Structure 1
Amino acid sequence: MLDANMTTQLKTYLGNLREPITLVGSLDDGKKSADTRALLEEIAALSDKVSASFDGDDARKPSFAVTRASDETRSVRFAGLPMGHEFTSLVLALLWAGGHPPKVEQDVLDTIRALDNDFDFEMYFSLSCHNCPDVVQALTLMALENPRISATLIEGGTFQSEVDERDVMAVPSTYLNGDLFYNGKMSLEEILAKLDDGADAKAAEKLSAKEPFEVLVIGGGPGGVASAIYTARKGTRTGIAAERFGGQLNDTLGIENLPGTEYTEGPKLTSDLERQVAAQGDIDLMNLATASKLIPAETKGGLHTVELTNGGTLKARSLILSTGARWKQLGVPGEEEYRNKGVAYCPHCDGPLFKGKRVAVIGGGNSGVEAAIDLAGVVGHVTVIEFAEELRADKVLVDKLESLSNVDIITSAQTTEITGDGSRVSELTYLDRATENSHTLELEGVFIQIGLVPNTEWLKNSDLELSQYGEVVIDSHGASNLPGIFAAGDCTNVPYKQIVVAMGAGSKAALSAFDYLIRNEASPQEERVLEPA
Structure 2
Amino acid sequence: MLDANLKTQLQAYLERLTRPVHLIASLDDSAGSKEMLELLQDIEGLSPQVSLEVRRDDAERKPSFAITSPGQDINLRFAGLPMGHEFTSLVLALLQVGGHPSKAAADVIEQVKSLEGEFRFETYFSLSCQNCPDVVQALNLMAVLNPNIRHVAIDGALFQEEVEQRQVMSVPTIYLNGEVFAAGRMGLEEIVAKLDTGAEEREAGKIAKKAPFDVLVVGGGPAGAAAAIYAARKGIRTGVAAERFGGQVLDTMAIENFISVQHTEGPKLAAALEQHVREYEVDVMNLQRAQALVPAGADGLVEVKLANGASLKSKTVILSTGARWRQMNVPGEDQYRNKGVAYCPHCDGPLFKGKRVAVIGGGNSGVEAAIDLAGIVAHVTLFEFDSKLRADEVLQRKLRSLPNVTIITSAQTTEVLGDGQKVTGLVYKDRAGGDSHRVELEGIFVQIGLLPNTEWLKGTVELSPRGEIVVDDRGQTSVPGVFAAGDCTTVPYKQIVIAMGEGAKASLAAFDHLIRTSAPATAPAEEIGA
Fold equivalence (TM over 0.5): yes
Matched letter for residue 452 of structure 1: L
Q: How does 1:108-257 map to 2 (within 5 A)?
A: 108-257=108-257
1:24-43: per-residue Cα shift (whole Å, max 9, x none)? 11111112111111211211
Shift of 1:531: 5.9
Shift of 1:104: 0.8
Residue 396 of structure 1 aligns to a residue whose secondary structure is: helix
Looking at structure 1, the residues matched to 179 and 351 of structure 2 have their Cα atoms a distance apart, in angstroms, of 20
Shift of 1:22: 0.8
- The TM-score with structure 1 as length reference comes to 0.96
Contact 1:76–1:150 (8 Å) recurs in 2: yes
Q: Which residue of 2 aligns with 1:47?
A: 47
Matched letter for residue 168 of structure 1: V
Looking at structure 2, the residues matched to 245 and 106 of structure 1 have their Cα atoms a distance apart, in angstroms, of 18
Contact 1:215–1:238 (8 Å) recurs in 2: yes
Q: Which residue of 2 aligns with 1:396?
A: 394
Contact 2:417–2:424 (8 Å) recurs in 1: yes
Q: Which residue of 1 aligns with 2:489?
A: 492
Structure 1 window deviating more from structure 2 (342-351 vs 46-55): it is: 46-55
Q: Which residue of 2 aligns with 1:309?
A: 307
Contact 1:467–1:473 (8 Å) recurs in 2: yes
Q: Which residue of 1 aligns with 2:91?
A: 91
Looking at structure 2, the residues matched to 92 and 295 of structure 1 have their Cα atoms a distance apart, in angstroms, of 43
Pairing partner for 2:428 from 424, 430, 437: 430
Matched letter for residue 46 of structure 2: L
Q: Does 1:379 align with 2:377?
A: yes
Looking at structure 1, the residues matched to 62 and 384 of structure 2 have their Cα atoms a distance apart, in angstroms, of 44
Looking at structure 1, the residues matched to 114 and 265 of structure 2 have their Cα atoms a distance apart, in angstroms, of 35
Structure 1 window deviating more from structure 2 (31-40 vs 470-479): it is: 31-40
Contact 2:10–2:91 (8 Å) recurs in 1: yes
**Percent identity, aligned pairs only?**
61
Pairing partner for 1:366 from 364, 379, 386: 364
Looking at structure 2, the residues matched to 201 and 347 of structure 1 have their Cα atoms a distance apart, in angstroms, of 36
Looking at structure 2, the residues matched to 152 and 243 of structure 1 have their Cα atoms a distance apart, in angstroms, of 27
Looking at structure 2, the residues matched to 405 and 17 of structure 1 have their Cα atoms a distance apart, in angstroms, of 50
1:162-196: per-residue Cα shift (whole Å, max 9, x none)? 11111111000110000111111111111111111
Matched letter for residue 476 of structure 2: A
Contact 2:75–2:149 (8 Å) recurs in 1: no
Residue 87 of structure 1 aligns to a residue whose secondary structure is: helix
Q: How does 1:13-52 map to 2 (within 5 A)?
A: 13-52=13-52
Q: Which residue of 2 aligns with 1:510?
A: 507
Shift of 1:267: 1.1
Pairing partner for 1:446 from 423, 438, 444: 444
Contact 1:357–1:444 (8 Å) recurs in 2: yes
Structure 1 window deviating more from structure 2 (428-437 vs 235-244): it is: 235-244
Contact 1:291–1:458 (8 Å) recurs in 2: yes
Shift of 1:532: 4.3
1:433-486: per-residue Cα shift (whole Å, max 9, x none)? 11101111111110011111111111124x311112221110000011111110
Looking at structure 1, the residues matched to 397 and 238 of structure 2 have their Cα atoms a distance apart, in angstroms, of 47
Looking at structure 2, the residues matched to 55 and 408 of structure 1 have their Cα atoms a distance apart, in angstroms, of 47
Matched letter for residue 67 of structure 1: T
Residue 511 of structure 2 aligns to a residue whose secondary structure is: helix
1:415-441: per-residue Cα shift (whole Å, max 9, x none)? 011101111111111000111011111
Looking at structure 1, the residues matched to 106 and 276 of structure 2 have their Cα atoms a distance apart, in angstroms, of 21
Looking at structure 2, the residues matched to 153 and 308 of structure 1 have their Cα atoms a distance apart, in angstroms, of 34
Looking at structure 2, the residues matched to 106 and 370 of structure 1 have their Cα atoms a distance apart, in angstroms, of 41
Structure 1: which 5+ residue stretches go unaligned? none
1:110-160: per-residue Cα shift (whole Å, max 9, x none)? 110111110100110000000000000010011110001100111111111
What do you get for the CA RMSD once the two structures are aligned? 1.4
Structure 1 window deviating more from structure 2 (444-453 vs 267-276): it is: 267-276
Matched letter for residue 68 of structure 2: T
Looking at structure 2, the residues matched to 100 and 458 of structure 1 have their Cα atoms a distance apart, in angstroms, of 43
Contact 1:22–1:69 (8 Å) recurs in 2: yes
Looking at structure 1, the residues matched to 261 and 402 of structure 2 have their Cα atoms a distance apart, in angstroms, of 30
Contact 1:289–1:309 (8 Å) recurs in 2: yes
Residue 518 of structure 2 aligns to a residue whose secondary structure is: coil
Matched letter for residue 502 of structure 1: A
Q: Which residue of 2 aligns with 1:75?
A: 75
Structure 1 window deviating more from structure 2 (53-62 vs 428-437): it is: 53-62
Looking at structure 2, the residues matched to 212 and 49 of structure 1 have their Cα atoms a distance apart, in angstroms, of 51
Contact 1:68–1:75 (8 Å) recurs in 2: no
Q: Which residue of 1 aligns with 2:465?
A: 468
Shift of 1:58: 3.7
- State the number of aligned residues: 525
Q: How does 1:51-70 map to 2 (within 5 A)?
A: 51-55=51-55, 57-70=58-71
Residue 85 of structure 1 aligns to a residue whose secondary structure is: helix
Residue 158 of structure 1 aligns to a residue whose secondary structure is: coil
Contact 1:358–1:379 (8 Å) recurs in 2: yes
Matched letter for residue 517 of structure 1: L
Residue 381 of structure 2 aligns to a residue whose secondary structure is: strand
Structure 1 window deviating more from structure 2 (199-208 vs 163-172): it is: 199-208
Residue 95 of structure 1 aligns to a residue whose secondary structure is: helix
Q: Cα distance 1:225–1:37, how it changes in 2: closer, same or farther (>3 A)?
A: same
Q: Which residue of 1 aligns with 2:289?
A: 290
Looking at structure 2, the residues matched to 306 and 505 of structure 1 have their Cα atoms a distance apart, in angstroms, of 21
Residue 241 of structure 2 aligns to a residue whose secondary structure is: strand
Structure 1 window deviating more from structure 2 (398-407 vs 160-169): it is: 398-407
Looking at structure 1, the residues matched to 116 and 230 of structure 2 have their Cα atoms a distance apart, in angstroms, of 43
Q: Which residue of 1 aligns with 2:271?
A: 271
Matched letter for residue 498 of structure 1: Q
Looking at structure 2, the residues matched to 44 and 195 of structure 1 have their Cα atoms a distance apart, in angstroms, of 35
Q: Cα distance 1:228–1:25, how it changes in 2: closer, same or farther (>3 A)?
A: same
Matched letter for residue 448 of structure 1: V
Looking at structure 2, the residues matched to 438 and 44 of structure 1 have their Cα atoms a distance apart, in angstroms, of 60
Structure 1 window deviating more from structure 2 (392-401 vs 354-363): it is: 392-401
Q: Does 1:520 align with 2:521?
A: no
Shift of 1:266: 0.9
Shift of 1:211: 2.0
Structure 1 window deviating more from structure 2 (208-217 vs 124-133): it is: 208-217
Structure 1 window deviating more from structure 2 (256-265 vs 426-435): it is: 256-265
Looking at structure 2, the residues matched to 389 and 259 of structure 1 have their Cα atoms a distance apart, in angstroms, of 34
Residue 315 of structure 1 aligns to a residue whose secondary structure is: strand
Matched letter for residue 252 of structure 2: T
Q: Which residue of 1 aligns with 2:498?
A: 501
- The TM-score with structure 2 as length reference comes to 0.97
Looking at structure 2, the residues matched to 101 and 215 of structure 1 have their Cα atoms a distance apart, in angstroms, of 34
Matched letter for residue 67 of structure 2: V
Q: Which residue of 1 aligns with 2:456?
A: 458
Matched letter for residue 63 of structure 1: S
Q: Cα distance 1:531–1:69, how it changes in 2: closer, same or farther (>3 A)?
A: closer
Looking at structure 2, the residues matched to 81 and 237 of structure 1 have their Cα atoms a distance apart, in angstroms, of 46
Q: Cα distance 1:531–1:317, how it changes in 2: closer, same or farther (>3 A)?
A: farther
